[in-house]
Structure 1
Amino acid sequence: MPALAEVIAALEDAYPPELAESWDAIGLVCGDPAEPVRTVLICVDPTSETVDEALDLGAQLLVTHHPLLLRGVHGVPADTPKGALVHRLIREGVALYCAHTNADSADPGVSDALAEAIGLRVLRPLDPIGERTGLGRIGELPEPEPFSVFVQRVAEALPETEPGVLGAGDPDRPIRTVAVAGGAGDSHLAVAAQAGVDAYVTADLRHHPAGEHLAAGGPALVGLTHWASEWPWCEQASAVLRRAFAGNVETHVSTRRTDPWTIRTSRERNQ
């Protein structure tokens, strides 16, 4: 079995730490780099649910996209939610490693996984860093299709969430070129518009920026939940480890939905 340090090296070869934003908190949160790793669980969020899953699998390593301790902390007491997770992981001998904005900008990275899930052929980064890396991706469909059909394509490609998938735009608009950005992407609305794509798929779109974008003639919008937009990356990261440690490390992609929204309802109207 490889040591934790070897597994981290494989992950950092795929998702170079130098690609992370300066404000980010990536890397090893807890765990002994010398300890052997036999089983790895990969997920989007470090939560009590995904820690439960890691323990059920007997995993020695939990790899997450989102950091547990993004903002500076002065302690991790066990009577706080995040501190309790750190104590539990250490007691059970499970390491925690986070690949966040470095995985967003890597080639391939989070947005490549989203594009692949939707069925796009990736052409270039949406917001490039160099030639091949950067945030978001621009891709194209094999053939144009109406926006209403495209929204359904996205919904069927991603795990189901209570809020579902939302579309904003003319249902009959032909869609061929598409920008995607895993995670919160309304800061790239202008970049997507400048790219001249037909549609932009991302998460956490806000009311006013989205409305102003559409009023200005920008691409049609497909709104996802943050978790669903980044979940395809888990399989990508799993494949990285399978290639690096063929037969020596067992990898699992989390099946726990950690999207925070759990109820959707609507008022019944009298006919």
Structure 2
Amino acid sequence: MVDRLADWVQVVDALYPQNHAASWDVAGLQVGDPNDPVGGVLLCLDVVAATLDEAAARGADLLLAHHPLLFRPLDRLTPATVPGGLALRAARSRIAVLAVHTNFDSAATGTTEPVVRLLDLRDVTPLEPALGDGDCKLVTFVPVEATEAVRSALAEAGAGSIGAYRACSFAVRGTGTFVAPTTANPTAGQPGRRNEVVEDRLEMVVPRARLAAAVAALRRVHPYEEVAFDVIERLGADEDGRGMGRIGDLPEPVALRGVGERLAVGLPSPHLRVAGDLDRPIRRVAACGGAGDSLVGAALDAGADCYITGDLRHHVALDACSAGMAVIDAGHYATEAAALPILHQALAEASARRGLTARLLASAVRTDPFQIDPGRGWDKGAL
């Protein structure tokens, strides 16, 4: 059976859900009809003219790119505009474009994983942990005589589970006030006047999947005509290790120059810029593939001796050094291109499990726009 574009969208979303992308990101399907057939998938870092040429030459119907082609709203779609012209060309060529961006960056094994492996970091955790899809807390206000019935109904509906414990709740007593309309039939008090009722504030956690059932149970057993309740979103650190960047420890201290040498040898086409004393011993290392100078503060707070990323700005690097942390700018392209084999393997395994048959290809196009001192860059032993 021929793969459909929708099949590959589902594979990517199962591995790297779109709701795990940053709020400002535009990951996902950008060009293409989900019903179109897909016989070949070309994995690349960027959608440029050369990768579109490559896709056409290699029979790929889908460009699966790390960087989104369309990041901002377009005011025209003509051949002479960028990126509109590329999107127009892709659509005309029936080459779909699917972006897996910060939803891959933040994965437990995502963009920063190559640096973690290259430096053999230990005790690795996210530098900026992602917020998990936490449970909700359901809060309601119940007349004292009905508290136990409401508590039991909510527990039966799936509320109140914390780890291995069931029917967990918290209640505190207070006074509720209300004025019921003259046409109402309140459970307590009188219509048309201000009433005070002794009530329990009852709280129970509820899995998101059981929230509708819990609210239905609450409405069914609560004695009031108008049931007052709040649903509070509970956010906590993701338990799957998601988050932007990584921080960990080297097995033993290494001079800053040694860290740079490992990156120079292990990353594809790195253009290393180092700020700090090259002889300084480094033990605790933070890293973020791509453009990560927004996480310099997090690296400092986490006690990093050195922070590795790309696209570091001049004053950000100065401030980091002034605060006592060395920084290495290894390049946006180098720190992200190194992760494409990881993405390729994950997609190959996931698509095989689903029985998809399209060929998954790795782009041979180098999309790093920079050449810095060609032939004179850092090579092994140059530091």
Asked if these proteins are the same fold (TM beyond 0.5), I'd say yes
2:31 corresponds in structure 1 to 30
1:167 corresponds in structure 2 to 274
C-alpha distance in 2 between matches for 1:75 and 1:12: 29
Q: Secondary structure at the match of 1:127?
A: strand
**In the TM superposition, what is the alpha-carbon distance from 1:265 to its structure 2 partner?**
7.2
Q: Which moved more, 1:186-195 or 1:114-123?
A: 114-123
Q: Which runs of 5+ in 2 are unaligned?
A: 131-236, 376-383
Check whether the contact 1:122–1:137 (CA below 8 A) recurs between aligned residues.
Answer: no
Q: Alpha carbons of 1:75 and 1:216: their partners in 2 closer, same or farther (altered >3 Å)?
A: same
**In the TM superposition, what is the alpha-carbon distance from 1:167 to its structure 2 partner?**
1.7
2:9 corresponds in structure 1 to 8
Q: Does 1:53 align with 2:50?
A: no
Q: Percent of pairs identical after alignment?
A: 41
2:186 corresponds in structure 1 to none
TM-score (norm 1): 0.89
1:201 corresponds in structure 2 to 308
**In the TM superposition, what is the alpha-carbon distance from 1:152 to its structure 2 partner?**
0.7
1:269 corresponds in structure 2 to none
Q: Which has the higher helix share?
A: 1
Q: Which moved more, 1:32-41 or 1:115-124?
A: 115-124
Report matched runs for 1:15-164 at 5 Å.
Answer: 15-121=16-122, 123-129=124-130, 130-131=237-238, 132-161=241-270, 164=271
**In the TM superposition, what is the alpha-carbon distance from 1:63 to its structure 2 partner?**
0.9
**In the TM superposition, what is the alpha-carbon distance from 1:117 to its structure 2 partner?**
4.3
**In the TM superposition, what is the alpha-carbon distance from 1:232 to its structure 2 partner?**
2.0
**In the TM superposition, what is the alpha-carbon distance from 1:208 to its structure 2 partner?**
1.3
TM-score (norm 2): 0.64
2:177 corresponds in structure 1 to none
**In the TM superposition, what is the alpha-carbon distance from 1:182 to its structure 2 partner?**
1.2
Q: Does 1:221 align with 2:330?
A: no
Check whether the contact 1:203–1:224 (CA below 8 A) recurs between aligned residues.
Answer: yes
Report matched runs for 1:241-256 at 5 Å.
Answer: 241-246=347-352, 248-256=357-365
**Amino acid across the alignment from 1:167:** V
Check whether the contact 1:3–1:34 (CA below 8 A) recurs between aligned residues.
Answer: yes
How many residue pairs get aligned? The number is: 263
Q: Alpha carbons of 1:60 and 1:121: their partners in 2 closer, same or farther (altered >3 Å)?
A: farther
**In the TM superposition, what is the alpha-carbon distance from 1:141 to its structure 2 partner?**
2.9
Q: Alpha carbons of 1:256 and 1:114: their partners in 2 closer, same or farther (altered >3 Å)?
A: farther
Check whether the contact 1:49–1:256 (CA below 8 A) recurs between aligned residues.
Answer: yes
Q: Alpha carbons of 1:118 and 1:49: their partners in 2 closer, same or farther (altered >3 Å)?
A: farther
Check whether the contact 1:16–1:106 (CA below 8 A) recurs between aligned residues.
Answer: no
Report matched runs for 1:231-242 at 5 Å.
Answer: 231-242=337-348
Q: Secondary structure at the match of 1:245?
A: helix
**Amino acid across the alignment from 1:108:** T
- Listed one character per residue, the Cα deviations across residues 62-82 of structure 1 (whole Å, up to 9, x for unaligned) are 111111111112332222132
Higher Rg of the two aligned structures:
2
C-alpha distance in 2 between matches for 1:241 and 1:150: 31
- Listed one character per residue, the Cα deviations across residues 178-219 of structure 1 (whole Å, up to 9, x for unaligned) are 11101211111111011112211101111112112111212x
Q: Which runs of 5+ in 1 are unaligned?
A: 267-271
1:210 corresponds in structure 2 to 317
2:147 corresponds in structure 1 to none
- Listed one character per residue, the Cα deviations across residues 7-33 of structure 1 (whole Å, up to 9, x for unaligned) are 111111111111122221111111121
2:289 corresponds in structure 1 to 182
